[in-house]
Amino acid sequence: MKSSLSTNIGSLSLERPTVLASGILGISLDVFKRLHNAGAGAVVTKSLSKEPWEGYPNPTIFSVKGGGWINAVGLSNPGAETFAKMIEPNTDVPIIVSLVGSIEDDFEYMIKKFKKCNISAYELNLSCPHVAKVGLEIGDDIELVSKIIKRVKSVTDIPIIAKVGLGKSDYLQTVEAAVSSGVDAITAINTVRAMAIDVETQMPILSNKIGGLSGTPIKPIALRCVYEIASKFDIPIMGCGGISSWEDAVEFILAGASVVQFGSVMGDHWVETFSEINSGIQNYMERKGYETIGEMVGRAKRQ
């Protein structure tokens, strides 16, 4: 029997467990359609704010040794209302809308703008490491995390996913606040605070000085976080951070993730990435005798 790649993240059902991570390929609906046709189970949009944000001036991204990237784009985006108009009428592509804000009202306002859109889920960005007054500053405020999720859950029946990262506080406290407030799933993790300095100019390379490290260097950290969350909480998890192969994806699933997100791995041949990783996962499942993704989820913590 051929193994099935279908999976669930709470009440959200996906045909495949591989998802485009937020912030990688912008908000182009045409690109989203190509990715879905190429094997992506869903796509997460670039984080959207209540009002349009310009972001930071260049340079905003820097390649580091070991296959990683440090970026501080500044969450540039056209605003939630503009993007909502872009995806009307409804599309068949499973879209997870990433939202960023600083207070409960911001998130409620944005969700109301998507009332007429066919949204699969919302991912609340509570962990951007390089934008003040949003992201990690929100994730570190446990009381505010709870208030935001409760408010969001009160205005929509669409699944809500909280994206957590490594801030000043224990990230598991953020997860606990999200879970106790009724969140449907957790994405772990976001990029990790980092920087680079040009030894000739003796200045930070990024215009914002501090950015977020992504790619293969953070994979062991992200994998550890997924394992810890799965061990402590009964909550669906989207694993994210440094996935560059089907083996990486399988590791995250064995650690406790029902779905994996990736983006830094996609270079010039980004369209083929999803099909290659999906095929690798399926071949592994058939070799090991797994019929469903669910049978694999969390196997590492049950040994």
Q: How do residues 48-107 score in pLDDT, each as one tens digit?
A: 999 998 989 999 999 998 788 998 988 889 999 999 998 876 678 999 999 999 899 999
The sign of the CA dihedral 13, 162, 81, 72 is negative
* Domains, the chain: 7-58+75-193+218-302 (3.20.20.70)
Whether 11 and 158 have beta carbons less than 8 Å apart is answered as no
Catalytic residue among 117, 128, 225, 240: 128
Query: pLDDT at position 288, please?
Result: 96
Q: What's the one-letter identity of residue 104?
A: E
Q: What is the DSSP letter of 216?
A: G
Query: pLDDT at position 132, please?
Result: 67
Query: pLDDT at position 269, please?
Result: 62
Bridge-based pairing of strands 68-71 and 211-215 is antiparallel
Residues of the chain below pLDDT 70: 1, 26, 89-90, 130, 132-133, 135, 267-270, 302-303
Q: Would you state the structure tokens that stand for residue 257, as one six-digit string?
A: 């993730």
SS (H, E, C) 233-289: CCCCEEEECCCCCHHHHHHHHHHCCCEEEECCCCCCCHHHHHHHHHHHHHHHHHHHC
pTM of full prediction above 0.85: yes
Bridge-based pairing of strands 237-240 and 185-188 is parallel
Question: Tokens 């983006």 map to which residue?
Answer: 263
Query: pLDDT at position 216, please?
Result: 93
Bin 67: left if φ > 0, else alpha if -120 < ψ < 50, else beta. left
How many other C-beta atoms are found inside a 10 Å radius of the C-beta of residue 116? Answer: 12
Active site residue 128: yes
